[in-house]
Amino acid sequence: MMGMGEPLLNFDNVVRAMSLMRDDLGFGLASKRVTLSTAGVVPMIDKLGEVADVSLAVSLHAPNDELRTQLVPLNKRWGIAELLDACARYAARRPRSTITFEYTLMRGVNDTPALAKQLVKLMRRLPAKVNLIPFNPFPGTQYQRSDETTIRAFQTILLDAGVQAMVRRTRGEDIDAACGQLKGRVADRTRRHAEFQRRLEAAHTEVRADAA
């Protein structure tokens, strides 16, 4: 369960949809084949654990609060420690479910060996796997995909430390339909996009400085 927006902020409808997917008169999927994606709405992760035993895909993208707050603004409300605690509670309550941490690799932003080692330390806190996602560019973004050598080196650090880590295969990039590319090209009549670009470039410069 993923797409535009945060599924856990549409909780009731999402839970009903997942029930339909698993119902014998619906799609008849096993719970382990249904995964809900979240950026980390901590109270709703706890609530989900009370009513469903589906797997979780958590959008992490950074191993420390400073960087994650820049990449995932929701981190200002619920930091990594709170998020991992919620995931641990979910795993304890729903032991048949799996938890995957999504980590999109962006060149010079979150793909360094030092950050990989920080991620290893986080993953020792609970049984989970890491899904490494090569960044898929879209119109107007300042971020770039990490090169293949960097991606594999990042993965190797995780694997050597005993962390289950896989690299997602990119599909649909040629038609702007890959993961993270659901964005249209529109005329910027209000100049809001130009202002957004200015702020994005400033944040990107700050992230690169921090990573260095």
pLDDT of residue 177: 40
pLDDT of residue 128: 95
Helix (H), strand (E), coil (C) string for 183-203:
CCCCCCCCCHHHHHHHHHHHH
Q: Which of these, 106, 99, 112, lies nearest to 59 by C-alpha position?
A: 99
Phi and psi for 165 in degrees, rounded to 5?
Answer: -140, 135
pLDDT of residue 142: 84
pLDDT of residue 173: 47
pLDDT lower than 70: segments of the chain? 1-4, 170-194, 196-197, 200, 203-212
pLDDT of residue 194: 65
Domains with residue ranges and CATH for the chain: 7-211 (3.20.20.70)
pLDDT of residue 193: 58
Supply the DSSP string of the chain, one letter for each residue.
Answer: --SSS-GGGGHHHHHHHHHHHHSTTTT---GGG-EEEES--HHHHHHHHHH---EEEEE---SSHHHHHHH-GGGGTS-HHHHHHHHHHHHHH-TTS-EEEEEEEBTTTS-SHHHHHHHHHHHTTSS-EEEEEE----TT----BPPHHHHHHHHHHHHHTT-EEEEPPP-SGGGT-STT--------SSSHHHHHHHHHHHHHHHHHHHH-
Q: What is the pTM of this model?
A: 0.80
